[in-house]
Amino acid sequence: MAVQGSSDVLIDELYETTSRLRQFVEGRLREKGASVARLRALRMLARARQPLRMRDLSDMAGIAARPATAIVDSLERDGLVERVRHPQDRRAFLLRLTDEGVRCHREAEEVDRLALAEATAALDAADREQLRTLLARIRDHTV
């Protein structure tokens, strides 16, 4: 049973489930030298298909500027991301994946996909659809 952190056991169970999923995936990524936070940044840069400003990356990832900068600094040290001058604003930099960053992103996405498939293997197609429907109802009422 989930640790009680709210007045509704369902919410506690949702939180516990998402926390366990994140820890499960984090463990699998860590085995390959990656993390959920790093994958998220790589994913945002890969999906953008063009270099991003740091502010854009932090907004897209839903994290504050300071942790985003720490993640990007780490990715840059590892040769996965590079900072390039902004063409219209010489004071600003843009972030883009290096070739090695593209490769690492693909590998991390595969680890993520396999980990999530393993974690949800007990759900058949009908279970998955039902769960998605129920979660959508909650989201629709919290807009």
Average pLDDT over residues 74-95: 92
Per-residue confidence (pLDDT) for residue 66, from 0 to 100: 93
CA distance linking residue 72 with residue 97, whole number of Å: 10
Per-residue confidence (pLDDT) for residue 90, from 0 to 100: 83
pTM: 0.85
| DSSP H or E segment with residue 135 | helix 125-140
Q: Report pLDDT digits (tens) over 5-36.
A: 778 999 999 999 999 999 999 999 999 889 99
